[in-house]
Copies of this chain bind each other. A is one copy, B any other.
Amino acid sequence: MGGDFGPSVVVPGCAIARERYPDCRFVFFGDASEVRPLLARHPALEAVAEVEHTDVAVRMEDKPSQALRQGRRRSSMWMALEAVKTGRADMAVSAGNTGALMAMSKLCLRMMPGIERPALAAIWPTLRGESIVLDVGATIGADAEQLVSFALMGEAMARALFSLKRPTVGLLNIGVEEVKGLEYVRAAGQMLREGGLPIAYAGFIEGDDIGKGTVDVVVTEGFSGNIALKTAEGTAKQIAQYLRDAMGRSLFSKIGFLFAKGAFDTLKEKMDPRKSNGGVFLGLNGLVVKSHGGTDAEGYAAAVALGHHLARNGLMKKVADSVDHYQKDRASAQEQHPEVAHS
């Protein structure tokens, strides 16, 4: 069981999730001598939990290739994925090594037909609620085709997560006139606009549109997506620090802080990164949720809740249908206009 803190976060996190979602059942893959005593402290969770012992764990510092060589089949990560593959579990949640999780997921669960590489979709709190941003770092250097598949998968996820009928989809781009975006972003924009896809494509958006919540689904290639996500996290921390510094500066501001404590608590909750913990790997034949490695029990519970919600709302089928539909459309376009396929 991975993450920076292993079972000591995962088990209490699942205990919180169990309380909120009484229909959840859990299988823990890891060192039984660590997991069982922790479970004993949470009888309600223990009652719906199974433990599969293994003492092989992928370490946070392992390279994916290393993890695959050493940990395949016997590691807790692999076993959790296999439980999804065999249908024993509806989803796998891991706070472990992201690269290894992705590599193992691809190998164990395989990609959906027509999807080359997975995308990691994050939940981004916005002024209008929440948006989905993908890819935040699973695949770097995506091409136009891949961006279109990200759009389809993200849109399906927004339908499952936000219960929206027609979530809007934007393509992240830059606004300097001279150089309106990279070639492949422009090409993806054209495909989304003119491709007759069954999604509400809203055009290009810029970085500041993400926080505004201009669209429900923000599509971007993984390098820029990861940089956007981390930069936003950094900015939020920076402002929180400014705020703490400012409020502690004088007696007046300290008194003000006490009066406005409720307001600050609301703000803190709004900005709590644990609330939006959990990214989803899309494009796999199975639901895999990645929790932040450094999160606590509350954050881990949020990742479980995300997966639970998505499993309940048929994410896998929605994504598969969307992708399948697109593949068929393309195949028939290819038959009728072979040259289109190469455009």
Contact indicator B249/A256 (Cβ below 8 Å): no
Task: Confirm or deny: A212 has a beta carbon within 8 angstroms of a beta carbon on chain B.
Answer: yes
A179 lies within 8 A of B127 (CB): no
Partner-binding segment picked from A31-39, A41-49, A230-238: A230-238
Query: Are A212 and B234 closer than 8 Å at their CB atoms?
Result: yes
Q: With A242-B270, A263-B249 known to touch, is A208 a contact of B179 (CB < 8 Å)?
A: no
Partner of A259, one of B126, B183, B233, B259: B259
| CB-based nearest B residue for A265 | B246
A228 at the interface (CB under 8 A from B): yes
Contact residues, A51-104 vs B (CB, 8 A): 63-64, 97-100, 102-103
Interface stretch of the complex, out of A13-21, A22-30, A217-225, A310-318:
A217-225
**Which residues in B have their C-beta under 8 angstroms from that of A176?**
98-99, 102, 120, 137-138, 222, 226
In Å, the complex CA distance between A243 and B271 comes to 10
A194-212 Cβ-contact flags toward B at 8 Å (1 or 0):
0000000000001111111
A288 to B263, CA, bound (A): 44
Cβ distance A123 to chain B, nearest Cβ, rounded Å:
15
Which residue of B has the minimal Cβ distance to A259? B256
- A210 with B231: CB separation less than 8 A: yes
Central interface residue in A97, A137, A172, A259, by most chain B CB within 10 Å: A259
Known: A210-B234, A234-B211, A242-B267. A179 touches B262 (CB 8 A): no
Given contacts A224-B223, A247-B260, whether A178 and B211 have CB atoms under 8 Å apart is no
Q: Quick one: given A127-B241, A238-B126, are A174 and B262 in contact (CB under 8 Å)?
A: no
A304 to chain B, nearest CB (A): 22
* CA A84 to CA B224, docked complex, whole Å: 35
Contact of A233 among B99, B208, B257, B271 (CB under 8 A): B208
- Contact check, A231 vs B249: say whether CB atoms are below 8 A apart: no
CB distance from A308 to the nearest CB of B (A): 25
The answer on a CB contact under 8 Å between B260 and A233 is no
A139 at the interface (CB under 8 A from B): yes
**Nearest-CB distance from A309 to chain B (Å)?**
24
Give Cα A209 to B327, complex, Å.
Answer: 40
Residue-wise interface mask of A (258-279) relative to B, using a CB-CB cutoff of 8 A (1 in contact, 0 not)? 1111111011001100000000
Instruction: Find A246's partner among B63, B238, B266 (CB 8 Å cutoff).
Output: B266
Most chain B CB inside 10 Å of its own CB: which residue of A183, A229, A246, A257: A246
Contact yes or no, B249 A98, CB < 8 A: no
Task: Flag if B259 contacts A255 (CB, 8 Å).
Answer: yes
A-B contact pairs, 6 of them (CB 8 A): A102-B178, A126-B238, A137-B179, A227-B228, A232-B234, A253-B262
10 tightest CB-CB pairs across the interface, nearest first? A256-B260, A207-B230, A256-B259, A99-B178, A99-B177, A208-B234, A253-B263, A211-B234, A207-B231, A211-B238
Known: A182-B223, A207-B226, A255-B259. 12 other contacts (CB 8 A): A64-B178, A99-B177, A100-B177, A102-B176, A126-B238, A175-B226, A206-B230, A208-B233, A239-B271, A242-B267, A246-B267, A247-B260
